[in-house]
Homo-oligomer: A and B are copies of this chain.
Amino acid sequence: MSIKRTVPTLHDVAVKAGVSTATVSRCLNFPERVTVGTREKVAKAVETLGYSPNFGAKAMAARRTNTIGAIIPTMENAIFARGLQAFQEELRSHGYTLLVGSTSYRPEIEEEQIRTLVGRGADALLLIGHDRDPEIYKFLEAQGVPAIVTWAYDPAEFLPSVGFNNRTAMRDMAREVLRLGHCNIALISAKTEHNDRARGRLHGIQDAMIEARQNPEDLRVIETSFGIENGAKAFELIMSSQRRPTAVFCGNDVLAVGAMRSAKALGISVPNDVSIIGFDDIELAQVADPPLTTVHVPHREMGQRAALALVDMLRNGVPLTPIELITKPVFRGSLAQVKASLD
């Protein structure tokens, strides 16, 4: 344990350079407003002292942080990472820093994270989905922190969203699946409570069923937590039933890959015995064997446009407006026409 030395401050730099703190501050933030001579003196002092500005003090004095917060359900998966990466890159190019929080899909943790990031001075927030306690929106308004929602699109909701319509996205896929003759289908869904994306996807399938004159009640739904392992277990459960479905939808690619692993373990052939359909189109989908039929989501575009919208509003006061992005079913080996059966 080393003695905790005292960290150099603006004042120390000022003394060392023989100028005032105001000059040092200007030197650092607006070099052009300072003569070359002083600039050099200050630069040298900064260098030898190893000075680094105190963010908290800076934020407090300047009343802005150039920081934007993002709160996602989990970092443990590529699903959000891709979009977030693009989000960050775009922010970075505009001089903003990204602060990330994760919630493990738990509303109370999301609330805590929102408070944390706001307390840390985030100038704006990126949130996933619309489904949360309205109290939070009151809080954000009271704090004057604008927020944008992504991974969903619903202009009727309180916050503006940059994303896609989960319901129609899944419906479009389901239509194709039903068209292939599947009339006994199941869904391995993420928990739908507090999750409008999961609910939208579920309803999308049911919409397609109704269109196809099937009874939406017939959709067998298993809700489970996120993870390959959970997808595998859910699939096992579904296939242990009396009347096995011919197609299993999954709320996301990770669950789908779990289902495929489970199918392999059980000796169930995909897509001969059962078709498996995912959602998201992460890299994993192409690596799976057979490659996964899934709904392609424009992750990167979503992140980038969300960032642009936020920066535009912060810098130029341009109001946030909803932006709808499109998704597209991607057909790969895991989906096949339903086989003629004997009953």
Contacts and interface: CB of A to CB of B under 8 A. Distances in A.
Interface of A: 1-2, 4-8, 49-50, 52-60, 74-78, 81-82, 84-85, 88, 97, 99-100, 102, 115-116, 118-121, 138-139, 141-144, 228-229, 257, 260-261, 264, 283-284, 286-289, 313, 317, 319
Nearest to A54: B119
B76 A82 contact: yes
Contacts of A121: 54-56
Contacts of A52: 115, 118-119, 139, 143
A283 B6 CA distance: 45
A113 to B, nearest CB: 9
A100 to B, nearest CB: 6
Does more than half of chain A's interface fall in helix, strand or loop, or is it mixed? helix
A81 B75 contact: yes
Contacts of A75: 75, 81, 84-85, 100
A85 B260 CA distance: 25
Contacts of A283: 228-229
Contacts of A228: 283, 286-287
Contacts of A81: 75-77, 81
Contacts of A288: 287, 289
A97 B286 CA distance: 36
A260 B283 CA distance: 13
B142 A5 contact: yes
Contacts of A54: 60, 119, 121
Contact of A2 (B56, B58, B115, B141): B141
A184 B52 CA distance: 51
The 3 residue pairs across chains A and B that have the minimum distance between CB atoms? A56-B56, A289-B289, A50-B142
Contacts of A5: 141-142, 144
B56 A143 contact: no
B55 A1 contact: no
A263 B74 CA distance: 32
Contacts of A287: 228, 257, 260-261, 284, 287-288
Contacts of A99: 99
A1 B313 contact: yes
Contacts of A119: 52-55, 58
A54 to B, nearest CB: 6
A52 to B, nearest CB: 5
A310 B248 CA distance: 45
11 contacts: A5-B141, A5-B144, A54-B60, A56-B59, A60-B60, A76-B78, A77-B81, A88-B102, A120-B120, A228-B287, A289-B289
